[in-house]
Every structure is written in C-alpha cells, then in structure tokens.
Amino acid sequence: MREKTDVLIVGGGIVGAATAYHLARQGVPTVLLEAETLAWGATGRNLGFIWVHTRKVGPELDLVMATRTGIDQLVGELDADVELQTNGGLVFFQDERQAPVMRELVEQRNANGVPMTLLSGDEARELVPLLPPAVLGATYCPLDTQVEPTLWVQAFAGAARRLGAQIREGVRVERLLREGDRIVGVATDAGEIEARDVVLAAGGWAPELAATAGLELPIHPMRLQIVQTLPMPRETRHIVYGSNALKQYSTFQDLPSFDDSLFVNEVEWRHDMLLLEGLSQKADGSYLLGCAMDYPGFVWDADLRGVSLINEVFMEHIPRLREAGFAKAWAGILPFTVDNLPIVDRMPGVDGLIVAAGHVFGNGSGPTSGQLVASMVTGEAPVISLEPFRAARDGLQLTADSSVW
C-alpha cells in the first residue's frame, strides 16, 4: 500500500520549509521530502540578503515586504537563531559620474515608498569601516536585512516539525504520479507516497520533475558563484553592494539618467561574465563575496573564471580584502522566470499539483510564498493577491538566455 498524507512538499529550500511551517500551523498533515539536506540547493548557496533596495514596486516588492515587515515577530515564532541583522544595506560608488544616477535612484525610491538616503563617503565608511577612501558615497536603505540562509530554512523546518509536519531528508523524488488529469502523489527512491495535494517547491529542478507528468514549466537556471574568506575582525553589520551590481536591476535600468557604460567593470568584459558585486560578513567574521553570474545550465561547481572575477573586483574596490585568507568557493543554481516573479499557483490542466518555484530572491519571497501556498490548500484569504504569480500569466517563456531583475 502507498503511504498517504494530505500535502506532500517536494523540496527542502526556503519555499518548501516555509510552506511546511504555515501548513503545520493550520493543522494540515504535511510531509516534506528533500533529496539531499535542507537548504542544499539555491537557498543555502547565497549571500543571505533580504534585499528591498531595488525591488520593483508591485508584486515583487509586496512579496518581500510581507516577510520584511513582520520579520522580528516571525523569527520569534520560529524560536531559532537565524543570525538576523536588520541594520540596512548600502550600495557604494567610486565614480563621480555615477553620483547623479544614485541621487535619482534615492529620489525615485522615496517617491515609491521605499525609504532611502544618499550618504557621503564619510557617512558610508562610518557604517562600513571596510570601505576605502575612494568611496565617494552610497545609497542606504534601512529595510535591507540579512539572515544566514541555511539557518533560515532550518528554522522553518524545525518549527514545522514541532507542529507535527514530517521533514524527511535524503529522500529523492524521482517522478510525479499522474492518473488522468490528476497528480496523485510521487514516486521516490524509498517508495510511493499518495497525497491530496503535491507542492512542487524544487527550485531549479521543478521543470524536470514537472516533465515526468507531461507538464512544462517556464523556469530557467542561472549560476551564481561565491567566495568565502577566512574570518576577519567583525566590523561589517550591513549588507553591501557595489554600484556595478545595480545594472542587473530593472528598477535602476529604467532611470532616465542611467548609462550602462558607467556601471560596467573592465574585469567583467575581460572574463566575459557579469558580477553582482555584493558582500556580507557572517557571525564568525568571514566574508561572503559574490556573485559571478552566468548561464551554463545545471553546473553546480565554481570555476576559476568566476572566482578570479570576484577576487579581482573586490581587491580593486576594497583593498583591505587583499589581506583576506581564502576559505572556499562554491556555486548555486538560481531559478528564474523572465518576469522575475515566481510561479505560485495550482498547475493549469491538472488537479492536485501546486507549483511554488522560480524564486530569484527566495530569502525574502519564500516565506510569503509559503503563506500563499497554505492559503490555497486551506481556502483562507491570501496575504497578498495571487494573480501576479499565476502559472499561465502572459509573457512567460519556455526558453531564456539571461535574466534582468
């Protein structure tokens, strides 16, 4: 006989773990399956940013703010240390030609209801002493937040388990079980499990698993590479971007004064790879430096090109990091859709399958997505509108070569 449960979640990243938590809070019998260990995929391989600074007004910002607004209460409910820092984030610049664009960004963000300040170079260094004298200024948003992403996932999963959910690591889902127009469960390497609802929260693996039931998902893989240093003196309590990172965000690209040539580093051209220039300091004093970006498919390894790009740019822009010891480097596969919004919806054409995948900014949007999935299961009113996240919305594409956030 097949094992049975009400809801079966495929994937132990932030979306899956948050979904398990919110369902367990409602008393819904829930099983979560993770092929490796919790946060093994994209969730556990990023800088830990909950980034508000450049989130587009509308559903993208709504997804993150639903998490950010109540994050202190949420962490208290989870009853776990996630290394939460709510000190805000900076984007520094070193070229005076960039100053008018940064000023315009601050004006636009404040007009959109996102609090932001333009700091002088001295004010930026007061917040982040690591920054060198060459930094002329920075934008500062007090809403930007940092968590340790693996602890973030484990906190949701641990709370879900205490509320009665089953969290099973090392169980690989091999295919979805389809009977006619209904998904009835999954086949795993440990046997079959039947469920009233299957939640596909498998990130970059979601299209492959959907295909086992004859379904197509317009979700694509992007590789991000990160370098971790050995511990250094603990002095950076804000999350930090370099201004060149902003060219990845449509909020910035859409500014009338934006000029792409002012926000591209020569090292990026030389390595033929973009850098989302960001850093954060962990509780142990080590720095996470990232993120080299490209689109090689499901390549989970860092390469010398990406590591060289990260090291060269950071040694140029923040000379004190030349003293940093090298600890390790890794890569993660970030799932994306062409409109930068996840799919959080019951899959059209079949019953019994909810898709919650395609999260580019999962640390902030994952907890909200978990609430949305729980509302679909229980019939309660969603915390924000589900319409922007429909699987059949206009504009999604089954192929994509690159992404702009």
Q: pLDDT tens digits, residue range 176-198?
A: 999 999 999 999 999 999 999 99
Identify the pLDDT of residue 2.
82
* Centroid of chain to Cα 152: 12
Q: What number does CATH give the domain 3-46+150-218+338-389?
A: 3.50.50.60
The pLDDT tens digits for 309-364 are 999 999 999 999 999 999 999 999 999 999 999 999 999 999 999 999 999 999 99
What is the residue extent of each domain of the chain?
3-46+150-218+338-389, 89-142+221-336
- Report d(CA 152, CA 150) in Å as an integer: 5
Give me the pLDDT at residue 315, please. 97
Superfamily designation of domain 89-142+221-336: D-Amino Acid Oxidase, subunit A, domain 2 (3.30.9.10)
The reply to whether the predicted model has a pTM over 0.85 is yes
CB 357 within 8 A of CB 350: no
Nearest CA-CA partner of 207 in 221, 188, 193, 196: 221
**What are the tens digits of pLDDT across the range 335-344?**
999 999 999 9
Distance CA 71, CA 146 (A): 11
Q: What is the mean pLDDT of residues 54-60?
A: 96
